[in-house]
Chains A and B, each alone.
Chain A
């Protein structure tokens, strides 16, 4: 970029603004990291600001001894993997079929899916239905709910219709491929980019979800990590806000020391892979925006 004299001031101020944005986004994350390595006392007294104080791993140690967190991890991984696979099975093939111009009643089927973006039964009818189907408190509902995400389906459909040339499909047909053969052997291998985006979207969605378990899982033993965290980190906070400080004190002391470690540990899987996958996420936003 060429910069001219009168724009120098602007560019300088602009750099400052960008730096402010950077620091605002970064500092809260950075603080949690340094607080996790600091002694709980120093953190509570507000002494930990720029670097760790009284470096200790006791918070992490306390966390590792907490069995609920381990089981939370186990179930979160389980729900994430199975849930993501179900998401893919429901979303990708349907999106491909809808991208095909030769599909009879294409418009009507599109409408069938789109309507659900604007109309829904809402929480209570859905809950009553799932209750009637005897799916409350089951593994099935944890991995099945939200299997179809219409927005992501549209993103995939757009990808297929702009990236898979119609001629390719016609040629494969002339060679005697069936529709299923075309989808599995030709279209899917050409669609690795969108598959990566979808796997990441779905997996992060499952990993970060606490609402499904709040509503549909009474069995605390099968809670995923986010729900365990919610009870650990936020229920005591509520009691304090309500003034029940003494009853929460024991629990609180225990949690206080491991709080930051737990926050990091739960975000760890996402944040570790984040630098590698970040461009895929961005790609997904772009494809979605094309439809707009």
Chain B
């Protein structure tokens, strides 16, 4: 009886389900089917045998991964890179938004906004090429200037320590304008009456920022901080891979690039699947943990 009612309801809305169909099918094939492939993390996986007939090895791949030098290297590399990105990149869009909020000239404000958003649309290949344009050893602008001043050339792009700075600050350059949009819109939602009465009370702009603007954007800050903190163990593949070379590898090998090399270039499918799975499990735990903490502390959560 109940099932029949359900079927009737579905039948009545079949056209809505038709609209859902392409997306549901795509997600089933390209998102859910690969989750089944995670079985490979516990197997000595051979593609010609498939997931059901490959030899079961339990947690062997994980044990192997934890005991390698790579583990001791790439996990700290990943965390260092993303924590540095977070610490350097998080406050700057907020400062930019607060700054633009008190630029009296609307035209100038628009100009700064439009120019600072632009780098967001540059592809990662072009971005990394631009890093090389400025910091390249033989053809880079900075080394060109140093050379003409009689100073030695510096091997920026082959230096593990400098790699981190280049990675993080090129990211800040690309993302600061775009990141500020959300704060600018939050600031524009402040009740003008608050500012009016603060001015009547003789508050300076700095005091208004401290007591009106910042409290307004705190919820946005907390939400974004949660999202970012949840990503501490996931450094994206694209940019790191392009910035890698054999000289800076000791700092630039992260989990994503390691999985790519061991899995696709060396065809160690089971092992690399295990490393990838380890990474996503940690990511999920992190996300849930920071979400819980933030719910406790500030009543703001995203899940």
Whether the pair A25, B173 counts as a contact (CB closer than 8 A) is yes
Q: Does B115 contact A (CB under 8 A)?
A: yes
**Which single member of B95, B117, B204 contacts A281 (CB below 8 Å)?**
B117
A215 located at the interface, meaning its Cβ lies under 8 Å from any Cβ of chain B in the complex: yes
- State A242–B242 Cα separation when bound (angstroms): 14
Q: Is the CB of A14 within 8 A of B99?
A: yes
Of A29, A35, A179, the contact of B118 (CB 8 Å cutoff): A29
List residues 18-63 of chain A with CB under 8 A from any CB of chain B: 18, 21-22, 24-26, 28-29, 31-32, 35, 43-48
CB contacts (< 8 Å) of A103 on chain B: these are 13, 16
Q: Are B38 and A10 in contact (CB under 8 A)?
A: no
Q: Which of B127-142 contact A (CB under 8 A)?
A: 128-130, 132-134, 136-139, 141-142
Instruction: From known contacts A44-B144, A45-B144, infer whether A112 and B130 are also in contact, taking CB-CB under 8 Å.
Output: no
**A1-B104, A103-B13, A240-B137 known; A148-B119 Cβ under 8 A:** no
8 Å CB contact of A240 from B24, B37, B138, B279: B138
Q: A43-B144, A89-B22 are in contact. Are A179 and B13 (CB under 8 A)?
A: yes
Q: Contact: A90 with B133, CB < 8 Å?
A: no
Contact in complex: A32, B121 (CB < 8 Å): no
Q: List A contacts of B112 (CB < 8 A).
A: 18, 21-22
Q: Is B37's CB under 8 angstroms from A125's CB?
A: yes
Quick check: B158 and A229 within 8 Å, CB to CB?
no
B145 within 8 A of A: yes
Output the least CB separation between B286 and chain A (Å): 11
Q: In the bound complex, do residue B103 and residue A238 qualify as a contact, i.e. CB atoms below 8 Å apart?
A: no
Q: Please, how many residues of chain A have a CB less than 8 angstroms from a CB on the other chain? A: 103
Interchain CB contact under 8 A, B122 and A267: yes
Asked if B87 is at the interface of the complex by the 8 Å CB criterion, the answer is: no
- Flag if A260 contacts B133 (CB, 8 Å): yes
Counting chain B CB atoms within 10 Å of each CB, which of A3, A266, A292 scores highest?
A292
The reply to whether B276 and A119 form a contact with Cβ atoms under 8 Å apart is no
A257-269 to B contact mask, C-beta < 8 Å, 1/0: 0011001001100
A109 pairs with B20, CB closer than 8 A? yes
Q: How many A-B residue pairs have CB under 8 A?
A: 294
The chain B residue with its CB closest to the CB of A226 is B125
Say yes or no: is B18 at the interface (Cβ < 8 Å to chain A).
yes
Q: Is B96 located at the chain interface by the 8 A CB criterion?
A: yes
Complex partner residue of B16 from A10, A97, A113, A121, CB under 8 angstroms: A97
Q: Is the CB of B118 within 8 A of A241?
A: no
List chain A residues, Cβ under 8 A from B148: 45-47
User: Shortest CB–CB separation between residue B58 and chain A, in angstroms?
Assistant: 18
Contact of A25 among B17, B118, B133, B205 (CB under 8 A): B118
Most buried by A among B121, B125, B247, B302: B125
Q: In the complex the two chains form, is B132's CB within 8 Å of A234's CB?
A: yes
CB distance from A102 to the nearest CB of B (A): 7
- Decide yes or no whether B260 CB sits under 8 A from chain A: yes
Other-chain residue from A17, A113, A178 in contact with B99 (beta carbon distance below 8 A): A17
Q: Once the chains bind, are A10 and B102 in contact (CB under 8 Å)? A: yes
A-B pairs, top 5 by smallest CB distance, nearest first, are: A125-B37, A121-B34, A46-B144, A122-B276, A208-B123
Interchain Cβ contacts under 8 Å between A and B, 18 examples? A3-B104, A21-B96, A21-B176, A28-B134, A32-B133, A46-B146, A113-B27, A119-B35, A121-B31, A121-B38, A125-B38, A148-B23, A208-B123, A211-B237, A215-B260, A229-B125, A241-B247, A271-B118
Q: Which residues of B contact A (CB under 8 A)?
A: 6, 9-10, 13, 15-20, 22-24, 26-27, 29-38, 40, 47, 95-96, 99-100, 102-104, 108-109, 111-112, 114-119, 121-126, 128-130, 132-134, 136-139, 141-148, 155, 157-158, 173, 176-178, 181-182, 185, 199, 204-206, 220, 223, 237-238, 242, 245-248, 256, 259-260, 263-264, 269, 272-273, 276-277, 279-280, 284, 287, 302
A residues at B contact (CB < 8 Å): 1-4, 6-7, 10-11, 14-15, 17-18, 21-22, 24-26, 28-29, 31-32, 35, 43-48, 89-91, 93-94, 96-98, 100, 102-104, 109, 112-113, 116, 118-129, 131-132, 144-145, 147-148, 153, 178-180, 183, 204, 207-211, 215, 226-227, 229-230, 233-234, 237-238, 240-242, 245, 256, 259-260, 263, 266-267, 270-271, 274-275, 278, 281-282, 285-286, 289, 292
- A147-B30, A274-B121 known; 4 new pairs, CB 8 Å cut-off, are A24-B173, A47-B144, A93-B19, A282-B181
